[in-house]
Amino acid sequence: MKWLVLLGLVVFSDCIVKIPLTRVNIMRKTRSEKYMPNNFLKEHAYSLYLTSSPGSNITTYPLRNIQDIIYVGNITIGTPPQKFQVVFDTGSSDLWVHSVLCSRRRCSSQGLFRHRESSTFRATRRRFSIVYGRGRMNGIVVHDTVRIGDLVSTNQAFGLSMEHSWFEGKPFDGVLGLSYPNISLTGGIPIFDNLKNQGAISEPVFAFYLSKSKPEGSVVLFGGVDKSYYQGALNWVPLTQVGYWHVHMDRISINSRVIACNDGCEAFVDTGTSLILGPGRLIDNILRLIGVTEVNGHRCVSCSVVNTLPSVDFTINGIKYPVPAQAYTIKDSSGNCYIGIRENPVNRSTENWILGDVFLRQYFSVFDRGNDRIGLAQAV
């Protein structure tokens, strides 16, 4: 069973966020299946290597923070290598980049993969299509060598865009998905699985540290965790189903008052979404409690009052994760502070939340494929 989701990109102010458009066939589990206690997880866990250990097999790869909106990193594809700037996205499973096969004139503004210049390129006849909130991307599935720093995935399946809309001028050349294989739209083995299968990483774990208000310092780690990026203990949260990084959330509160997710709800942990997204009626209530006003059609607050605003607390698997106002406000180039908690404009029927970068800047996140769980700890 899995979620079938078509991903969408939407602009809020100058923010780029990705939202699920449709979902089908959600698997419901019993309470005993969904909420495994932490001691069970500890008993069945392997040890996570730390970079402080000599010879530890962890790759730490830098990401660039673009105005607290999106995080990108460089990869190379082909022989000789061609460089691309991609979003490392836990909300999808496929790697795709723009290419010279694109039929639109506006594609020339992107970094384009030139397949004829790679001696390791292999074509297929498979096509794929991804529908977005503001357009569509159609492409073809191909194979080549992909490198993330020193990590090498040979004969990697990925997508080349042949036709797209909306992407022109955006600060990335493609997307590198880090979810499970069963939600792949290209039908290929995702790059993380290939890296593990080919022995490039020793443990099926990756992790994110996302900086705030500075372009440098963010990283994605493959093969383990590094305690220098967080403080305290990692709290483990079991997935409610595999596919997306999907967990159960207990409640959302402000000043100990439950204001959303009263009876529990579902949440995606998604590095490819800029904001925290939820149902519109609940978001409206949260923003009223925060004291948000509307300026030129946008919901914002005066930056001078940010320090007086309350935290929004997300309780997951019995642990409270506060997101203070300094974390959920984003200052734009005009000096306004926008609230990074917004309505999911598509999925209005159920109480599902997306915990994007606004949340993940506060908490170092570990994505444990070996045990189907997520680890969260206070980021340093």
Which pLDDT score, from 0 to 100, does residue 80 have?
A: 98
**Residue 199 burial (10 A CB sphere; 0-12, 13-18, 19+):** exposed
Note the pLDDT of residue 222. 98
In the predicted structure, residue 194 carries a pLDDT above the cut 50: yes
Average pLDDT over residues 321-341: 90
51, 309 in Cβ contact below 8 A?
no
Same fold, 30-40+228-379 and 55-222: yes
Class of the CATH domain delimited by 55-222: mainly beta
pLDDT at 33 over 70: no
**Annotated catalytic residue 270:** yes
The active-site residue out of 89, 94, 226, 250 is 89
Least confident of 23-32, 249-258, 290-299, 307-316: 23-32
Cβ atoms within 10 Å of 161's Cβ, excluding its own: 26
pLDDT class of 350 with cuts at 50, 70, 90: confident
Q: How confident is the model at residue 28 (pLDDT cuts 50, 70, 90)?
A: very low
Domain layout of the chain by residue ranges: 30-40+228-379, 55-222
Query: What does the pLDDT read at residue 378?
Result: 98
Give the pLDDT confidence score for residue 134 in this predicted structure.
59
Residue type, 150: D
Amino acid letter, 9:
L
Q: Catalytic pick from 144, 250, 270, 313?
A: 270
- The helix/strand/coil state of 259 is strand
Q: Which pLDDT belongs to residue 164?
A: 74
Percent above pLDDT 90 for the chain: 67
Q: Which two tokens stand for residue 221?
A: 């780690």
Asked whether the bond before 37 is cis by omega within 30 degrees of 0, the reply is no
Token pair in block for residue 25: 């066939």
Task: Provide, rounded to the nearest whole percent, the portion of the chain with pLDDT above 70.
Answer: 79
Residue 212, pLDDT score: 92
pLDDT at position 256 is 95
Q: What is the pLDDT of residue 302?
A: 86
Q: Compute the Cα dihedral for 132, 147, 213, 378 and give only its sign.
A: positive
Give the contacts of 325 (CB within 8 A, at least 6 positions apart): 290, 306, 307, 308, 309, 310, 311
Tell me the residue type at 20: P
Mean pLDDT of the chain: 84
- Name the CA dihedral angle for 325, 330, 334, 335, rounded to a multiple of 10 degrees: 30
Average pLDDT over residues 5-12: 38
Q: What is the mean pLDDT of residues 34-57?
A: 45
The pLDDT, as a whole number, for residue 168 is: 66
> Distances in Å between the alpha carbon of 363 and those of 172, 284, 312, 320, 359?
24, 25, 14, 12, 7
Q: With CA atoms as reference, report the closest residue to 158 among 112, 73, 94.
A: 94
| Segment (H or E) for 197 | helix 191-197
CATH class of the 30-40+228-379 domain in this structure? mainly beta
DSSP H or E stretch at residue 72: strand 70-77
Q: What is the pLDDT of residues 221-267, one digit of tens each?
A: 999 999 999 999 999 999 999 999 999 999 999 999 999 999 999 99
Asked whether the whole model's pTM tops 0.85, one would answer: yes
User: What single DSSP character describes residue 203?
Assistant: S
pLDDT at position 38 is 42
Find the range with the poorest average confidence among 34-48, 61-75, 184-198, 353-367. Answer: 34-48
pLDDT tens-place string over residues 93-134: 999 999 999 876 656 656 899 999 999 999 999 999 887 655
